[in-house]
Amino acid sequence: MEELEVRIKRVKERIAEAALRKGRNPQEIILVAVTKTVEPERIMAAAELGIEHFGENRVQEALEKIPRINFLLPKPVTWHMVGHLQTNKVPKAVRLFDFIHSIDSVRLAVELSKRAVSLGKTIPILLEVNISGEATKFGFHPDEVERAVPEILPLPGLSVQGLMTIAPIVQEPEEARPYFRALRELRDRLAEKFPQASWKHLSMGMTDDFEVAVEEGATMVRIGRAIFGERR
Ligand SMILES: *Cc1c(COP(=O)(O)O)cnc(C)c1O
């Protein structure tokens, strides 16, 4: 087996083992392979090995890669925007991506809504929450989301599907658990208060902490290095 194939297989096994530890169905967890800095050839190789979801974090890089890859792939894949999205990049993002994980302001949601409507699209989105409150991170403050939701839900062209977070960098994956748990609890509260949206997705967990995230209810894990190796 090629190295990439071994890595993908191992990541899938680790996701399944974490899910089963909590009595969850491994099938309900979507593996998003994060391909920032990864060359199109290796992305194509991963798609040929069965990866169906890919994530990029910068619109400019995505613009250089996604159309070309989509053109060459025999079967369509789903592209996820996982990085911070600037309002002025929305017109490009809305054409490139199928799913946006990083809605972090009402203003951004309004802009995305306008663009989605003008393309006749409905785009699934997640609200990014800065669950740890670190100053360096993007995302709604946990107290702020509840106020933003009633402004975002009625916007046409958007479909709110849940929440996303990036846990702080920690020494041990276990230390990230409280943040993942807090995101799940916040999601549960929002689902109760705003039952008109789906809230089914929790996008959380990366190379260093995805097993803990799955144990805490992640439905999407965003994994780069464990699949493609260290970034340059
Ligand atoms: C790069 C990135 C990932 C993947 O990180 P790894 O540690 O390589 O798994 C996940 N989410 C976001 C938002 C990223 O920018």
Q: Which of 56, 124, 63, 111 is nearest to 84 (CA)?
A: 56
- From 82, 214, 221, 231, mutation site for ligand 1 pocket: most ligand atoms within 8 A of C-beta: 82
Closest CA to 217 of 185, 175, 193, 191: 185
Q: Which residues line ligand 1 (CB under 6 A)?
A: 34, 36, 57, 82-83, 166, 206-208, 222-226
Three-class SS of residue 222?
A: strand
Percent of the chain with pLDDT over 70: 100
Among the atoms of ligand 1, which is closest to the Cα of residue 32? Answer: 10
| pLDDT single digits (tens) 113-171 | 999 999 999 999 999 999 999 999 999 999 999 999 999 999 999 999 999 999 999 99
Domain 2-228, CATH class in plain words: alpha beta
* Confidence band, pLDDT 50/70/90 cuts, at residue 44: very high
Q: For residue 110, what pLDDT band results from cuts at 50, 70 and 90?
A: very high
CA of 23 to the centre of ligand 1 (A): 26
Residue nearest to atom 7 of ligand 1 (CA): 207
pLDDT at residue 27 tops 90: yes
Angle (nearest 5°) at CA 192 between 186 and 194: 95
Does 1 have pLDDT greater than 80?
no
Q: Where are the domains of the chain?
A: 2-228
Q: Which two tokens stand for residue 105?
A: 């302001």
